[in-house]
Amino acid sequence: MIKVEHFTFNPLAENTYVLSNEKDEALIIDPGCYFTEEERMLQEYITTKRLKPLLLLNTHCHLDHVFGNNWVYKTYGLELHLHEGEVVVLETAPASGNLYGLGFTTYKGPLHFLKEGDEIIFGDNKLKVLFTPGHSPASICFYCEAQHFIIGGDVLFQESIGRFDLPGGNEQTLYKSIREKLYVLPDETIVYPGHGEPTTIGHEKNFNPFVRP
C-alpha cells in the first residue's frame, strides 16, 4: 500500500509529494522546497517516518517543481528521473528564477530518462508513466492503477487546467493529453495536482469548464 503525503512549498505554492510503502521506501516527486525551513520540514518528515528515499522524480521542470532537486541530490544522493523532453526546461529554470527574483542552484547531476509506458517498481507496487505534454513540452504523470491515483503535475487541476502560455506549452496538446490520457482513467481515480487540492477524474469530466470529455 502506498501512502501519499504532500507539502506545499515556495512562493508559488507548489505541491511536493513523498510516496512511501510498507517497506518504508520513499519516492520524492517534484521537490519544490526553496527556503531552508522547507528543506528542514521535508527532511524531518523523512527522518521521523524512518523512510529510505529511493528515487527523485520530476513530472516536469518548471522552476517551482525543481527548486529542491539539488538539495535532494546532495542530501540523499538521488539522481534525477524525468522525460528527456524536459531537459531544456530544466536547463533554463535558473534564468526563469532570476526573472521572478527567485535565484537558486539547479541540479546538475546525472539524468535518467522516463518515457510513456515505463513502470516504476516500488516495493510490491508500481507506477505507470503517462506522457502528458501541453503545459510543458514533455510533462509526465505517475499513475497507480492498483490504488486509483495519479500524481499529475500541472496538467489537470480541480476544475481547472495547467497554463499553456509558457515556452513549450501548447493549448491543443494539453487538451489532447487530458482527454486521451487522463479522462480515460476510472472516474474514482484521485488526481494529486502540482498546485491546489486533490480532485477525481469523474469530478473533472463532469465539472471542469475547460476540457470536456
- Residue 94 resides in a domain: yes
Residue 70 pLDDT: 98
Specify if 213 maps to a domain.
no
All 3 cell numbers of residue 7?
507539502
As a whole number of angstroms, the distance between CA 188 and CA 135 comes to: 24
Within a domain: residue 72? yes
Burial 172-190 (b: 16+ CB within 10 A, else e): ebbbebbeebbbebeeebb
Tell me whether residue 116 is in a domain.
yes
* Residue 93 falls inside a structural domain: yes
Instruction: Output the tens digit of pLDDT for each of the chain's 213 residues.
Output: 999 999 999 999 999 999 999 999 999 999 999 999 999 999 999 999 999 999 999 999 999 999 999 999 999 999 999 999 999 999 999 999 999 999 999 999 999 999 999 999 998 999 999 999 999 999 999 999 999 999 999 999 999 999 999 999 999 999 999 999 999 999 999 999 999 999 999 999 999 999 999
How many angstroms separate the CA atoms of 189 and 130, rounded?
14
* pTM summary value: 0.98
Range of the domain at 99: 3-207
pLDDT at 184: 98
Write down the pLDDT at residue 179: 98
pLDDT of residue 30: 99
Residue 61 near residue 93, CB atoms below 8 Å: yes
Asked if residue 99 lies in contact with residue 191, where contact means CB atoms within 8 angstroms, the answer is: no
Give me the half-sphere count of Cα atoms (radius 13 Å) on the Cβ side of residue 107.
34
DSSP β-ladder status, 140-144 and 125-131: antiparallel
CB atoms within 10 A of CB 14: 26
| Residue that is written with C-alpha cell 497507480 in the block | 144
- How does strand 80-83 pair with strand 111-114? parallel
Task: Please report whether residue 212 resides in a domain.
Answer: no
Q: What is the pLDDT of residue 201?
A: 98
How many domains in the chain? 1
Structural element, H or E, at residue 127: strand 125-131
Q: How far apart are CA 61 and CA 90, in angstroms?
A: 5
DSSP code per residue over 79-92: PEEEEGGGHHHHHH
Residue 89 in any domain: the answer is yes
pLDDT digits (tens, 9 = 90+) for 15-40: 999 999 999 999 999 999 999 999 99
| pLDDT of res. 115 | 98
- CATH number of the domain encompassing residue 28: 3.60.15.10
Rounded to whole angstroms, how far apart are CA atoms 118 and 104?
A: 31
Contacts 24+ apart (CB under 8 A), 25-28: 25/51, 25/52, 25/53, 25/54, 25/122, 25/123, 26/51, 26/52, 26/53, 26/54, 27/53, 27/54, 27/55, 27/57, 27/120, 27/122, 27/127, 28/53, 28/55, 28/56, 28/57, 28/72, 28/76, 28/78
Which residues are registered as beta bridge partners of 28? 18, 56
